Structure 1
Amino acid sequence: MATNSFLLGLLAGILLLLSSIDVARADLEITDVFTVQRGGDSTGGCDARLDPLLDNWLTESLFSLTAAIDAVDAYDRRFEVRYAMLAFFSFEIQDTLGTKQENPTRYRTWEKIRKNMVEVKNFLEHDKVVPGGDVFKFPKEKFWLHCHSTFLTEQSSTSPALDYEGNEMKKDDKPITIQELAAYQKAISKEPNAKPWWSGVNTDQNGYYFSEDGRNYCQGDNLGATASIKPLKAEGGQAVTKPEIASVILCPYAFDNTKNPDNYRDANAKLKKDVRLDAVLPKSTTLVHEAFHAVHGDKFLAGKEEKYGITECLTMSAEKQQTNPESYVFFIAYMNHRYGKVDEGEENEPWAINKLWEMGVGSKNDRFGAAREVTFINDDD
């Protein structure tokens, strides 16, 4: 996000998974969802962040996604949902959603926005029981989590190419260089300063990322990144692509910065009249942002095309808003602050929403902030 999130190299393709929306689960652990890099900061490890911090981030993410999806389902009954979908997705306000038969284009757009959030929730929820007997498409072996970019090792484009087992790739008994592989030529030529970075020194992932920053990405105030790795295997002198691995990188600044509240409970407590929505995004929203990249891949905006500031997110075209991860982050956070629930006895939990707030766009369309506290979840008469 801002100098906040960035897409390294090639992104994983879109992964589709639908299910009914159930109550968010608080019993999941982050290691249920991701293959988590172990160790310390020097090798991109997450040992210092695991229990309870990342587990709490996961729970916060699931509760907020549930609140947002439930809100979208209540479109006909709640004006504030209609207003927020207009602001963040340019989804035209009407009194009712209508049916697929009455207005198929409008209904498909609503369905797409909802589906984009459902897929991320299904990924983070890691529920292997898929309705209709479909195949579970989010095995944690294909989704890695790192807590620093230091697991990467810089290579030269003329270095011998290594396959997914870490062996040199050869043709006619001669080593093949990284730049000679068609699968990597596009990545190298796409950005003039892109370098190959090998992930096999500090992790069990043997593959390349292509980026200018690579190992050094997490310096400064960058919050996170999502990348995909294309492992290759040499067969008869040809490079054969193995299934992609998506890697989410959470930078130390995502955990340590003082700008974002530590959790939804603290963020919600900060709300008062005229406080901006972007001031009450908890640190866990970095995980949500990167999960949109990991799940939706190159179907979503990335790199220089994606936007992070609330003013930019409010003024993008409809098409871009609906494929911009941070637009969803803002929408999800607002719906959670407006409609989130807390069970009795959980008022002090990190995911607790103890006050409900209505919000709105400022007169110059330059902000989205708290308007008034409410004591109810209202449905239109």
Structure 2
Amino acid sequence: MARISFLLGLTACLLNLLTPTFAVEIWDIFTVDRTKDTDGACKARMTVLDQWLSEGSYSLDVALNAIDNYLTEPAVRDAMTTFFGVQQTEEGRKPSTIEPIRKKIQWVHYFFNQERNPKKKNELWFKANEYYLFCDSDFLARRDKTDSALDFQTKVIVDKDNNEISIDKVPGYATALRKEAKAVPWWAGASGLNGYFFTESGGDYCDTAGNFGLTAKIELFKQGANGKAQKDRIARSVIICPNAFDQNQPDSYKEANELLATGTNLADAVPKSATLVHELFHAIHGGDFSTGKAEEYDLGACIKLAEQQVQNSRKNIENYIFFIAHMYHLYGEADGEEPWSIKKNWNFQIEYISNSKDFIYGATEDGDAMDVDE
């Protein structure tokens, strides 16, 4: 998981797809093309994405409730030390470092549940026309920086003498190209978003094994007076790669929970829906979290961050993902055959491999695991 760092000049011709009187669906919270399966559209993925939405929402609920029970639940205290380096204090007092961590999760929860701001006439905290969802990076077409530049109306940009201008000569585009040493222009017109991504990888990003998703900042433009481009607003683009749907992880929390046995590593019990949660942390919190090479994804590396670089662990999204998964397996509930149903609750703890400094974060019964009533 990673994210593209810059995008310039996208059109603001979007539809408001919100339907607040019904249960939240994936198209309620994102602008997403459901009509085809090319050019980043998601027709064949909609059922899975709706499952991911439900799982993500429930898992965030459970994590927030667990944090709220910090003082009465030793397992929560231990997990927050493991993943965020929270130093436990004397009994009856919650460490002040917990609330900023909780708020990071809470904002993602607002998004998943399409919640409203009571201080602003109950307006939605997050609007679907400010968040795009794509199911591949194939809508991006590589261009050479010396190609003729297009504007947000797909018109060739010209100078005062009516001569065509290349992409690298447009001031805003030139600035974007300088932000990354290997950046090239990627035109997003196939998706209807008429603008450029300026980055090293674009349309080929999802072709690389192990790339599951990315998030990009979008500057939306609209036509102003005399046809001139006028900034409209900032939005976010979330791309979920085919690799994320096909990765070797459980398809659901139910499947993940059924795989658990004493000693099973937590890393093997994180469902595919965590990719969507991960990218939403990027989309909502932007630069508050580490990106690119600064991100850690391996469970062991995340735990070591909390031990050795506490502040970095609280800026590393996968630390939150592992914490959320731990809390869900520990406190989730049975719900028939639903994909998020937990049949048995498990705790996890560090288990060192004999004669080695290596360890796993293994499932344990040790009196903490309990069967959920059917």
- Settle same-fold status: TM greater than 0.5: yes
Q: CA–CA distance in 2 between the matches of 1:242 and 1:365?
A: 51
**Structure 1 vs Structure 2: percent identity of aligned residues?**
37
Query: For 1:62, which of 45, 57, 63 is the aligned residue?
Result: 57
Match for residue 150 of structure 1? 138
Residue 305, structure 1, aligned to residue 294, structure 2: yes
Match for residue 311 of structure 2? 319
Number of residue-to-residue matches in the alignment: 346
Query: For 2:108, which of 111, 120, 127 is the aligned residue?
Result: 120
Q: CA–CA distance in 2 between the matches of 1:248 and 1:213?
A: 15
Q: CA–CA distance in 2 between the matches of 1:67 and 1:140?
A: 25
Residue 282, structure 1, aligned to residue 271, structure 2: yes
Residue 333, structure 1, aligned to residue 329, structure 2: no
- The amino acid across from 1:151 in the alignment is F
Q: CA–CA distance in 1 between the matches of 2:85 and 2:228?
A: 47
Trace 1:222-233 onto structure 2 (pairs within 5 A).
222-232=211-221
Secondary structure at the residue paired with 1:132? coil
State whether residues 344 and 371 of structure 2, in contact with CA within 8 Å, keep that contact through their aligned partners in structure 1. no
Residue 371, structure 1, aligned to residue 364, structure 2: yes
Trace 1:151-170 onto structure 2 (pairs within 5 A).
151-170=139-158
Q: CA–CA distance in 2 between the matches of 1:174 and 1:237?
A: 18
Encode CA deviations 1:81-135: one digit per residue, 9 max, x unaligned. Answer: 1111111111112245737xxxxxx52x3111001000001111112x3233364
Which shifted more, 144-153 or 133-142? 133-142
**CA root-mean-square deviation:** 2.5
Q: CA–CA distance in 2 between the matches of 1:237 and 1:367?
A: 60
Match for residue 130 of structure 1? 117
Aligned CA distance change for structure 1 residues 376 and 92 (closer, same or farther; 3 Å): farther
Match for residue 252 of structure 1? 242
Query: For 1:361, which of 334, 344, 350 is the aligned residue?
Result: 350
Aligned CA distance change for structure 1 residues 185 and 86 (closer, same or farther; 3 Å): farther
State whether residues 275 and 369 of structure 1, in contact with CA within 8 Å, keep that contact through their aligned partners in structure 2. yes
Residue 140, structure 1, aligned to residue 128, structure 2: yes
Secondary structure at the residue paired with 2:83? helix
State whether residues 222 and 232 of structure 2, in contact with CA within 8 Å, keep that contact through their aligned partners in structure 1. yes
- The amino acid across from 2:360 in the alignment is R
State whether residues 208 and 229 of structure 1, in contact with CA within 8 Å, keep that contact through their aligned partners in structure 2. no
Match for residue 24 of structure 2? 28
Q: CA–CA distance in 2 between the matches of 1:96 and 1:177?
A: 65
- The amino acid across from 1:63 in the alignment is Y
Trace 1:76-91 onto structure 2 (pairs within 5 A).
76-91=71-86
Secondary structure at the residue paired with 1:158? coil
State whether residues 34 and 43 of structure 2, in contact with CA within 8 Å, keep that contact through their aligned partners in structure 1. yes
Which shifted more, 209-218 or 181-190? 181-190
Which shifted more, 234-243 or 79-88? 234-243
State whether residues 264 and 362 of structure 2, in contact with CA within 8 Å, keep that contact through their aligned partners in structure 1. yes
Structure 1 gap segments, 5+ residues each: 13-25, 100-105
Q: CA–CA distance in 2 between the matches of 1:114 and 1:11?
A: 30
Q: CA–CA distance in 1 between the matches of 2:185 and 2:34?
A: 23
Structure 2 gap segments, 5+ residues each: 9-21
Q: CA–CA distance in 2 between the matches of 1:156 and 1:234?
A: 26
